[in-house]
Amino acid sequence: MDSGVKNEITVAGIAASQGIAYGQIFVYLQSDVEVPGYQVEPEKRIDEVARFDRALVVTRQQISKIKNEVEKNIGPEEAGIFDAHLMVLEDEALIGETIREFEATGSNIETCFHKISSRYVQAFSEIDDEYLRERAGDLRDVAQRVLQNLLGQAENALSRLADQRIVVAGEITPSESATLDRSAALALVMDSGSKTSHAVIVARSMKIPAVVGMRNLTQRVTNGDWAIVDGYDGVVILNPSESTLFRYGQIQERKKSFEARLLESNRQPAVTLDGHRVTLMANIEKAEEVVKAKAFAADGIGLYRTEFLFLNSARFPTEQEQFVAYKSVAEAMAPLPVIIRTLDLGGDKLMAGRSDLFPKETNPFMGFRAIRFCLENQDIFKEQLRAILMASVHGKVKLMYPMISGSEELARANVILAECRADLRARGVPFDEALEIGIMIEIPSAATTADLLAKDCSFFSIGTNDLIQYLLAIDRVNDRIAHLYEPTHPAVLRTLRHVVDEAHRCNLPVSVCGEMAGDPVYAPLLLGLGVDSLSLSPAWLPSVKYIVRNMTMADARALAAEAMTLTSPKEIYARCDAFFRSRVHME
Ligand code: PEP
Ligand code: MG
């Protein structure tokens, strides 16, 4: 490393996921990142075309290699999709138009290729034919790869890091973070983002540090730079000196021994010192994650974010494919419960290449999202509902609707569910007749009308990630206002208390499945407010269980009661932090 040559620089951002990482940086180039534009001198134009040809050849080799691997490891059918990718590279129109654009403008070949390929992607995604629309996704993927090759970044795509790397990106979308190479990412650092942006949820689930809101770090670093990412204080230290490395090395050692103690005590039940058993469930995004949920002794799956089956594909998974995924989770967790949440597409979770279904919106988080999308796309919704119903005989499945804003919406969803039940019944397909239906409470109007909603469902799960953004009018992925996103705002506490009280009045259990539940600093507050169970990223179960086992419920209730009398979010946070620190000792 060359830290002796370059000066140490500390850059501050927002601490989003705890931990310390040290390693080399990979700067992630996004699909919609601005491709550098410049003029190519006339005498270098032949070389520029040759450069383009080479990038196409390299791309072809890479795709053929992936195709062979998929064929060997998964099967010929799945490998077949890469034939479509290879065909894109043979496309006379795309290649020819790029060259013509280059000859006409003299702009660098990346700029020309980006312009032409984007035009094609747009045209394909607007065609009223499903097969051709899917080609838009293929085209986008291949174009991205060609651009990465032209820009010399091919071996370090987000899903295939060349080695252990700190990923520095402008922004990472949910579909991109779903493909993150989990074996090699040491830390995530983003110019934008906030604590509940999906990439951070992924970082927390991996227990790797994340620092967001770095503004323009991507422009200040290059691939291979060495850095420390401090996810506790929210700083990135570029070219750390020997003494800084020594200091952080000590912190890492202490953390390692604390983690070992956490894992040790995770074998014990989640019982407070005054004998209250707390239910701790797991949030998952993919069926494979049940393995982690079980390894960390979750009491069930409190949130299965099914939309991740749909992202990164221009095609909707079939009813059968969905059934297989839901069934595998239900069976793996049985007899413990699995709460399957219906599609929460929209907002920042968009399906690649389906701009026909998700047109660009000015305020996507306030827009065509989740249940709103499902109620308008009933065929898609019904396929999912039937798949969940069919999986319900393979374990203890519960169904949950996201983004419910009021009773009428819940009633409409339930009518569609009743139609699906009738359909299966008529066909003699078995399902659990007693399937419990719950809703996410994540829109203020749902919280306010909790008493009405409680009449038509069996449980509530509070999605604090969204509830806080809507209550405080703070876009959860906007780094400029991320410091105003305060889970301990009195409005949040009052809303939580109101929902808990209304639910309990109707004998409904309430869970919290937002990121607050997986933070051991907030968990006592939530339990003290009367929340019955918490659902969190599996990797955080040991930490939350640790605090549960080292506190009394009486103290947690006193903490919540005191917090309810305070006006300052920072002061309330300080009380929660002091509660946590006085019960946990890292040494
Ligand atoms: C939430 O909003 O708190 C939640 C759990 O849902 P998501 O993060 O998937 O929007
Ligand atoms: Mg939500």
Q: Is 174 in the pocket of ligand 1 (CB under 6 A)?
A: no
Least confident window among 20-24, 91-95, 426-430: 91-95
- Are residues 538 and 474 both part of a single domain? yes
The residues near 406 (Cβ < 8 Å, ≥ 6 apart) are 445, 446, 449, 452, 453
- Asked whether residue 275 carries a pLDDT value surpassing 90, the answer given is yes
Assess contact for 295 and 288: CB atoms under 8 A. Answer: no
Q: What is the pLDDT of residue 153?
A: 61
Q: Is residue 253, in this structure, part of any structural domain at all?
A: no
Residue that finishes a domain, picked among 118, 151, 184: 151
- Are residues 371 and 487 both part of a single domain? yes
Higher pLDDT, 506 or 254: 506
Q: Is 300 in the pocket of ligand 1 (CB under 6 A)?
A: no
Q: Is 465 in the pocket of ligand 1 (CB under 6 A)?
A: yes
Ligand 1: residue whose CA is nearest its atom 6 = 463
501 C-alpha to ligand 2 centroid (Å): 21
Q: Is 442 in the pocket of ligand 1 (CB under 6 A)?
A: yes
- Across residues 536-557, what is the average pLDDT? 96
- Are residues 442 and 339 both part of a single domain? yes
Q: What is the pLDDT of residue 1?
A: 41
CA trace torsion 494, 498, 500, 506 (10° rounding): 180
466 C-alpha to ligand 1 centroid (Å): 6
- Are residues 274 and 332 both part of a single domain? yes
- Asked whether residue 353 carries a pLDDT value surpassing 70, the answer given is no
Q: Is residue 52, in this structure, part of any structural domain at all?
A: yes
User: What's the distance, Cα to Cα, between the start and end of the chain in Å?
Assistant: 32
Residue that finishes a domain, picked among 127, 151, 175: 151
Q: Is residue 36, in this structure, part of any structural domain at all?
A: no
- Are residues 438 and 519 both part of a single domain? yes
Q: What is the pLDDT of residue 495?
A: 98
Half-sphere exposure of 41 (CA within 13 A, CB side): 2
Q: Is 299 in the pocket of ligand 1 (CB under 6 A)?
A: no
Q: Is 511 in the pocket of ligand 1 (CB under 6 A)?
A: no
- Asked whether residue 117 carries a pLDDT value surpassing 60, the answer given is yes
- For the CA of 511, the nearest ligand: 1
Q: Is residue 250, in this structure, part of any structural domain at all?
A: no
Ligand 1: residue whose CA is nearest its atom 1 = 463
Least confident window among 106-120, 340-354, 431-445, 490-504: 340-354
Distance CA 292, CA 300 (A): 12
Q: Is 464 in the pocket of ligand 1 (CB under 6 A)?
A: yes
The string of pLDDT tens digits covering residues 205-224 is 999 999 999 988 998 998 88
Instruction: Choose which residue among 304, 308, 466, 536 to substitute to test ligand 1 binding: the one with the highest number of ligand atoms within 8 A of its C-beta.
Output: 466
- Are residues 435 and 302 both part of a single domain? yes
| Other C-beta atoms lying within 10 Å of the C-beta of residue 455 | 10
Instruction: Choose which residue among 194, 303, 465 to substitute to test ligand 1 binding: the one with the highest number of ligand atoms within 8 A of its C-beta.
Output: 465
45 C-alpha to ligand 2 centroid (Å): 51
- For the CA of 514, the nearest ligand: 1
Domains held by the chain: number: 3
Average pLDDT over the chain reads 90
Confidence of residue 167 (pLDDT cuts 50, 70, 90): very high
For residue 436, the one-letter residue type is: E
Tokens matching residue 208: 């790797």
DSSP H or E run through 32: none
State the catalytic residues.
Answer: 198, 513
Higher pLDDT, 193 or 329: 329
- Asked whether residue 246 carries a pLDDT value surpassing 50, the answer given is yes
Tokens matching residue 227: 């850095």
Q: What is the pLDDT of residue 458?
A: 98
Higher pLDDT, 175 or 561: 561
Q: Is 305 in the pocket of ligand 1 (CB under 6 A)?
A: yes
Q: What is the pLDDT of residue 196?
A: 84
Assess contact for 317 and 309: CB atoms under 8 A. Answer: yes
The label of the residue with tokens 């917090």 reads: 563
439 C-alpha to ligand 1 centroid (Å): 12
CATH code, domain carrying 70: 1.10.274.10
Alpha helix (H) residue ranges in 318-428: 319-333, 370-376, 378-391, 407-426
Distance CA 86, CA 78 (A): 14
Whole-structure pTM value: 0.78
Considering the chain, what percentage of its residues have pLDDT values greater than 70? 94
- Are residues 390 and 336 both part of a single domain? yes
460 C-alpha to ligand 1 centroid (Å): 13
216 C-alpha to ligand 2 centroid (Å): 28
Half-sphere exposure of 477 (CA within 13 A, CB side): 18
- Are residues 18 and 69 both part of a single domain? no
Q: What is the pLDDT of residue 74?
A: 59
Ligand 1: residue whose CA is nearest its atom 9 = 305
Tokens matching residue 580: 């946590």
Confidence of residue 174 (pLDDT cuts 50, 70, 90): confident
Q: Is 307 in the pocket of ligand 1 (CB under 6 A)?
A: no
- Residue 111: domain span: 42-151
- Are residues 420 and 488 both part of a single domain? yes
CATH code, domain carrying 205: 3.50.30.10
Q: Is 463 in the pocket of ligand 1 (CB under 6 A)?
A: yes
For residue 182, the one-letter residue type is: R
Considering the chain, what percentage of its residues have pLDDT values greater than 90? 65
Q: What is the pLDDT of residue 124?
A: 81
- Asked whether residue 141 carries a pLDDT value surpassing 50, the answer given is yes
Confidence of residue 4 (pLDDT cuts 50, 70, 90): very low
Confidence of residue 123 (pLDDT cuts 50, 70, 90): confident
Phi-psi category of 12—alpha, beta or left, where left has phi over 0 and alpha has psi -120 to 50?
Answer: beta
- Are residues 491 and 429 both part of a single domain? yes
- For the CA of 513, the nearest ligand: 1
The string of pLDDT tens digits covering residues 33-71 is 557 788 999 988 989 999 999 899 988 887 887 777 667
- Are residues 425 and 540 both part of a single domain? yes
The string of pLDDT tens digits covering residues 432-480 is 999 999 999 999 999 999 999 999 999 999 999 999 999 999 988 888 8
Q: Can you tell me which atom of ligand 1 is nearest the CA of 514?
A: 3
Residue that finishes a domain, picked among 116, 131, 151: 151
Sheet holding 20-28, edge to edge: 9-12, 235-238, 226-230, 20-28, 165-169, 185-190, 210-212, 14-17
312 C-alpha to ligand 2 centroid (Å): 19
Confidence of residue 587 (pLDDT cuts 50, 70, 90): low
Q: What is the pLDDT of residue 547?
A: 96
- Asked whether residue 359 carries a pLDDT value surpassing 90, the answer given is no
- Are residues 346 and 456 both part of a single domain? yes
